[in-house]
Amino acid sequence: MKCRAVLGAIGAATLCLIGSLNANDAAEAALKPISKSISKSALSTALKPARGSVLSAQACSLHKLQAATSGFTGEHLTTLDTALWFFGGMTEDGKPVSASNPALPSHCIVTGVIGAHTGDPDSGSGPTQYGNHFRLRIPLYWNGRFFFQGGGGNNGSVGNAIGMLKDGQNALPQGYVVVAQDSGHVGRDAAFSLDRKAYTDFAYQAVHDATLITKAIVKTYAGRAPDYSYFVGCSNGGRETMVSAQRYADFDGVVAGDPGFAIYDQWVQNLAMLQIVSKVSGTPAGMVPTDTSKAYSDDQLAYVAEHFMNQCDRLDGLADGLMSNYRACKATPADYKDLLCKKDGGDSDNARCLNATQINGLERIYAGIFSQRQADLSRLSARQYRTRPARNLSRHL
């Protein structure tokens, strides 16, 4: 596998070229859909299917496509829910065309679930339902290529499967088969990790299984397998991309944007922040927070952001509205006093000022996560505690 760093329309990314595919051809094929360096007209010309196929709408049959999954059993047992034909020229929801809601070409939409099962946690009304839900779109005019759309966050929802890219282009209208999946569970809650299969699906298995099964569906539909396969993802989708490239030979090229590898650390960080804002919002101790929106108003968050932008913008040598040298930007007791309302002992008479509870929460957020062991060993003063960079708590758990 050959990998190289690229900087394109999706930001920092890593392009990996796998197998015997010519590196230059694969790089061109994978990067053209997301490149800002060529014009839209050139992009349109470059991405016309070189060996395109006109597929049949009649092949969009639930019964016929279900037969394509008959060889997948056990944990890979697949049930198709729908196989519907979409007539092109309109948006999926019927609303006006926009960058985020493009007009789609004629295509077959296939949805289904792989490996449906139940497991922990028990919600009180029974065990949780799991399974890798997917959405597959097979265009009428197929360029012979397969595009896997990565997820994001903790996944838990199926992407739109149009191959949306940050330069405004979409893979589906360019003739790609596009697939997206939810990584084996529904919802963003990390409680799915209590189920071993659901956790394994999220970690790496769901992408691989969805790739094999949807390629089988495509082969049944089109009469041939894809010529080339690509994976494009960002954040957790970038992580999925890199893990897939390391574990399997499913793709000829991948583009991994800002891959989020430290998932466990992110969860610990999220839980710590939730504890803080829950207290600020007035959630009673021992109660599960259901709404923390009142912890800080949007106006107050903007006020805090403006304060630190004014303090730290010039630290990179240029006052341009970008805080590029953010590591040098440290919150100090003087900053908190500037933001604290005068009635609470601070210096601010701005209508957006923060009260004492909110300032305490802000201090804890900016301090980062500390274990008790770190605090005891370091004997940190109040000032040191507030201004020291955040540490990794997970190594002490």
Phi, psi of 166 (to 5 degrees): -75, 0
Helices within the chain (DSSP H only): 23-31, 40-46, 62-66, 196-200, 206-222, 236-247, 263-281, 298-312, 333-339, 356-367, 372-378, 382-387
253-257 vs 11-17, strand pairing mode = antiparallel
Express each pLDDT in 299-325 by its tens digit: 999 999 999 999 999 999 999 999 999
**pLDDT computed for residue 384 by the predictor:** 46
Could you give the angle at the alpha carbon of 287 between the alpha carbons of 283 and 293, nearest 5°? 35
For residue 79, give the amino acid letter: T
Express each pLDDT in 341-377 by its tens digit: 999 999 999 999 999 999 999 999 998 887 666 655 5
- Contacts with 135 (C-beta within 8 Å, 6 or more apart), sequence order: 109, 110, 111, 158, 159, 160, 161, 179, 180, 181
Handedness of CA 65, 135, 203, 131 (dihedral sign): negative
User: What is the chain's length?
Assistant: 397
- Per-position DSSP letters for 56-118, written without gaps between them: -GGG--HHHHHGGGTT--GGG-EEEEEEEEE-SSB-TTSSPPBTTB--B-SEEEEEEEEEEEE
- Contacts with 286 (C-beta within 8 Å, 6 or more apart), sequence order: none
Q: Tokens at residue 185, please?
A: 């569970």
CA 294, CA 126: separation in Å to the nearest integer? Answer: 33
Q: Tokens at residue 294, please?
A: 């009142």
CA 354, CA 338: separation in Å to the nearest integer? Answer: 10
Express each pLDDT in 235-288 by its tens digit: 999 999 999 999 999 999 999 988 888 777 777 888 889 999 999 999 998 888
Express each pLDDT in 222-236 by its tens digit: 999 999 999 999 999
CA 105, CA 314: separation in Å to the nearest integer? Answer: 48
CA 22, CA 10: separation in Å to the nearest integer? Answer: 23
Q: Which residue has the higher pLDDT, 39 or 63?
A: 63
Task: Give domain limits for the chain.
Answer: 2-93+101-261, 265-396
